[in-house]
Amino acid sequence: MTRAAFDAMAAAARALTLSNAALAKFAPFPDAFRWSGRSGAGIDAAAQVARWLADGEGPEADLHRAVAAAAPHASWLHTYTEAEVGAHFLENYGYFELFGPVGHYDAGGYRAYVVYWNAGLVYDWHCHEAEELYVVLSGRAIFRSEGEPDVELTRGGTRFHASLQPHALETTDSPLLAYIVWRGGGLGDLPRMGRA
Ligand code: ZN
């Protein structure tokens, strides 16, 4: 049961990548990937995501539904400590690696995450060496990147972050669910808070 839920999520991520030109150009979907046997449980965000029922049709909504179905079994993580972002943030945020070295599938150099933020959260400035592309699956948020105007993105919207370019986001009246792919140097790192 668990494995089938993850395979459905991987298939939905493939369909999304094939349908989204910016995503396909940023990092082609891997030809092959291998189930890691990893699963997990817990954290508050898992239950929030499992309860969030996607409306609409299309590859973003399909991946959202697959994520919601697998959410209770996913290997949820928090990059940050309570000292860095506060308890409220950690109760309303979480991510898991779908493809990558600590994720549910090993896919060579391809590294992709599913990330959730509840409504009314400020994800403060942070950066990392790897280049990054966000694809919004559901909800909306205001995306901030150093040197660029703020932009509000909704389903299907994409946002590119260059290597070490500081960025932040803020959810307003809706949660946000995103599929995020990394590439380039620093693939093994974690994001760190701050603008440098
Ligand atoms: Zn980032």
CA of 180 to the centre of ligand 1 (A): 8
CA of 145 to the centre of ligand 1 (A): 10
Q: Is the pLDDT of residue 37 over 90?
A: no
pLDDT at residue 109 in the model: 85
Q: Is the pLDDT of residue 193 over 60?
A: yes
pLDDT at residue 194 in the model: 84
CA of 1 to the centre of ligand 1 (A): 32
Q: Is the pLDDT of residue 80 over 90?
A: no
- Of 112, 78, 109, 97, the residue nearest 36 (C-alpha): 97
The answer to whether the predicted template modeling score (pTM) of the entire model surpasses 0.75 is yes
Write the secondary structure of 63-98 as one string of H (helix), E (strand) and C (coil).
HHHHHHHHHHHCCCECCCCHHHHCHHHHHCEEEEEE
More confident residue, 56 or 186: 56
Average pLDDT, the chain: 93
CA of 187 to the centre of ligand 1 (A): 12
CA of 80 to the centre of ligand 1 (A): 13
CA of 127 to the centre of ligand 1 (A): 6
Q: What mean pLDDT do residues 160-181 have?
A: 97
Q: Is the pLDDT of residue 1 over 70?
A: no
Buried b (16+ CB within 10 A) or exposed e, 134-158: bbbbbbbbebbbeeeeeeebebbbb
